[in-house]
Amino acid sequence: MTSMFDEIRKDNARVVIFDTTLRDGEQSPGCSMNLEEKLKMAEILETMGVDVIEAGFPVASPGDFEAVNEIAKRAEKSVIAGLCRAVQKDIDAVVAAIKPAKRQRIHTFISTSPLHMKYKLQKEPHEVLEAIAWSVGYARKHCDDVEWSAEDGSRTELDFLCRAVETAINAGATTINIPDTVGYVVPSEYGALIKSLVDRVPNIGKAILSVHCHNDLGLAVANSLAGIEAGARQIECTINGIGERAGNAALEEVVMALRTRADRIPFTNRIDTTKITGASRTLAAITGMPVQHNKAIVGANAFAHESGIHQDGMLKNAQTYEIMTPESVGLNKSNLVLGKHSGRHAFKKKLEDLGYTLSDTDLDDAFARFKIVADRKKEIFDEDLVALVDDEAAHAHDNIKLITMSVWSSTKGPQRATLTLEIDGQQKSAEVDGNGAIDALFKAIAEIIPHPEAKLSLFNIQAITGGTDAQAEVTVRLEEDGKTVNGQGTDTDTLVASTRAYIHALNKLLVKRKKNRPEDITTTKNRIQSI
């Protein structure tokens, strides 16, 4: 297989899309994903044509290792990268985790700015240069594709950065990444920095230059594009721009800017842009990190035209107010598609149009759920179907399931909830008063499965479509021991959706507990068995 380096050398207009949703994105607060969720995202990224998937930081935890390893086993075309510091145990963990991948990359990094070297690393510059030479050399012994990153590169003294880059390339790095780790630079400055490296580093022709920009000043995408114009040929980015603090450059924005303004920024990439909306929606549903409505490309309003003047212009010629079509990002207008009389065949066909291929059993489950929703809701939109299928998939592995619930609610409190759950096949019920219906429901869950150390840190309700019969999509975040999990639930009844979301989060919390505190396995099991 041709290496990424050879591909770029053959075609100087080609830009490598390196997605770090599962590493830089996943490590940001509230964005943690479990194994199934990471596998699902990795599959989507590969299908949409991402060149390099940074699958995680294997040394960070056994869960991170397993996720990178499982993604590596499944990947067909994308290069699978794992991140590591400049230390042997980190590099060894990446080597082992990415081993099954057909195309592998080791991504090693160390800080190069005066501030980071002095305070974070407590190393002299010459020690950092030695660490670069050693780590890249060691990684190259195991893999032909090695990326080296200068953490806080944009705040590094230029002379030292040039020496560090030269050292990394001499040691065998095939990609050199210059992160704007703290999102500090402005486009002209970052472009000039990349250009200086192209002009001054004698062996720069032996590596691909890469940009990795954070969005603290809202400039991540602009900086990335400035870097490409100055000679970089790899962009590191994430779906929905998730990532540390204000996030990373958003993949969908970078790719659509390259596509829409190819006249000014004439570079190509392999991304199938029609997969963008699906990827964005799936990630938002998995993480519970909603996309702001006015977000470029994937926000709910990105293609909405509200004002009369704009609507009039659109009707006459869409180009009056639209610089790209909704279809180009995979957004199909909300059509009325199916109703309660629709059959399994039409349902299957519609799901295929929406990009879902389900096994027969999953299709049966989704169809049964569709019939329930169709009975309650007059109009079934594409968004309803997407939510329904995503919800089924999210809950497929739950050990704790909601069987029934009912709520007594009035202007005079307290409100009362009765709830029955199935835990590993056994049914348990509780009846509890609360300060509001949601409070009563969540307390009832806690009565059946006590989890006093977990705190509810987010409770978010969104209507999927318009109308009072719209399905509600609820996200619940639970925190315990500094770890967070998100749960999702969808239903036409907001209270049912909320309960499903809470139970989903609790399922994930118990799985996480087992992984992080193996000594708790018995405690958790006993607790559940003794209910």
Q: Which residues bind ligand KIV (CB under 6 A)?
A: 24, 109, 149, 151, 177, 179, 181, 212, 214
Answer with the entry of Zn ion, ligand KIV, none that 275 interacts with (C-beta below 5 to 8 A by kind). Answer: none
The whole-angstrom separation of Cα 392 and Cα 385 is 11
Shortest gap between Cβ of 53 and Zn ion (angstroms)?
A: 15
390 binds, among ligand KIV, Zn ion, none (CB under 5 to 8 A by kind): none
Residue with nearest beta carbon to Zn ion: 24
Sole window of 23-31, 151-159, 350-358, 478-486 interacting with Zn ion (rule: CB under 5 A): 23-31
Q: Residue 24 or residue 145: which is nearer to Zn ion going by CB?
A: 24
**Secondary structure (DSSP) of 281-322:** HHHHHHH--PPPTT-TTTSTTTT---SHHHHHHHHH-GGGT-
Binding partner at 224 among Zn ion, ligand KIV, none, C-beta below 5 to 8 Å by kind: none
What is the enclosing helix (H) or strand (E) of 177? strand 175-180
β-strand partners of 422: 401, 427
Tell whether the torsion through CA atoms of 351, 352, 354 and 360 is positive or negative. Answer: positive
Choose the binding region for Zn ion from 19-27, 42-50, 137-145, 249-257 (rule: CB under 5 A): 19-27
Q: Which is nearer to ligand KIV, 63 or 179 (CB)?
A: 179
Residue 109 binds which entry of ligand KIV, Zn ion, none, CB below 5-8 Å type-dependent? ligand KIV
If one asks whether residue 180 binds Zn ion (CB under 5 A), the answer comes out as no
Nearer to ligand KIV, 97 or 394 (CB): 97
Q: Which is nearer to ligand KIV, 103 or 214 (CB)?
A: 214
Helices marked H in 86-214 — which ranges? 88-98, 114-115, 125-142, 158-170, 187-200
Q: Which is nearer to ligand KIV, 112 or 499 (CB)?
A: 112
Q: End-to-end CA distance of the chain, in Å?
A: 56
For the chain, the maximum distance between any two Cα atoms, rounded to a whole number of angstroms, is 77
Shortest reach from residue 232's CB to ligand KIV, in Å: 14
Quote the least distance from Cβ 193 to Zn ion, whole Å.
Answer: 16
| The residue type at 485 | V
Residue that the structure tokens 């392999």 belong to: 270
**Count of residues in contact with Zn ion, rule CB under 5 A:** 1
* Cβ 149 to Zn ion shortest distance, Å: 8
Q: State the nearest-atom distance from the C-beta of 185 to ligand KIV, in Å.
A: 12
CB of 234 to ligand KIV, least distance (A): 12
For the CB of residue 147, give the shortest distance to ligand KIV in the complex, in Å.
Answer: 9
Could you tell me where the beta strands, DSSP code E, fall in 313-374? 336-338
d(CA 520, CA 518): 5
Instruction: Write out 432-489 in H/E/C secondary structure.
Output: EEECCHHHHHHHHHHHHCCCCCCEEEEEEEEECCCCCCCCEEEEEEEEECCEEEEEEE
Work out whether strand 380-381 and strand 336-338 pair parallel, antiparallel, or are unpaired.
antiparallel
Distance CA 510, CA 466 (A): 35
Give yes or no for a cis peptide into 414 (omega within 30° of 0): yes
| Joined tokens for residue 50 | 């991402």
Q: How far is CA 520 from CA 65, 227, 512, in A?
A: 21, 49, 11
Q: Are 297 and 253 in contact (CB under 8 A)?
A: yes
Residues 323-352 vs Zn ion: string with x where CB under 5 A?
------------------------------
> Footprint of Zn ion on residues 279-318 (CB under 5 A)?
none
Of the pair 217, 446, the CB lying nearest ligand KIV is at: 217
Q: Does 24 engage in binding with Zn ion (CB under 5 A)? A: yes
Residue placing its CB nearer to ligand KIV in the complex, 179 or 434:
179
Q: Which is nearer to Zn ion, 38 or 508 (CB)?
A: 38
Q: Measured from the CB atom, is 248 or 492 closer to ligand KIV?
A: 248
Residues that bind Zn ion (CB under 5 A): 24
